[in-house]
Amino acid sequence: KNEVEQSPQNLTAQEGEFITINCSYSVGISALHWLQQHPGGGIVSLFMLSSGKKKHGRLIATINIQEKHSSLHITASHPRDSAVYICAVQPNTGNQFYFGTGTSLTVIP
Partner 1 sequence: ETGVTQTPRHLVMGMTNKKSLKCEQHLGHNAMYWYKQSAKKPLELMFVYNFKEQTENNSVPSRFSPECPNSSHLFLHLHTLQPEDSALYLCASSQDSGTYLAKNIQYFGAGTRLSVL
Site residues for partner 1 per CB under 8 A: 2, 4, 30-31, 33, 35, 40-45, 48, 86, 88, 90-102
Q: What are phi and psi of 24, to 5 degrees?
A: -120, 145
Q: Smaller CB distance to partner 1: residue 92 or 106? A: 92
Q: Smaller CB distance to partner 1: residue 44 or 108? A: 44
CA 19 to chain centre: 11
Q: How far is the CB of 96 from partner 1 (least distance, A)?
A: 6
Bond from prior residue into 8 cis (ω within 30 degrees of 0): yes
Q: How far is the CB of 16 from partner 1 (least distance, A)?
A: 29
Q: Smaller CB distance to partner 1: residue 32 or 77? A: 32
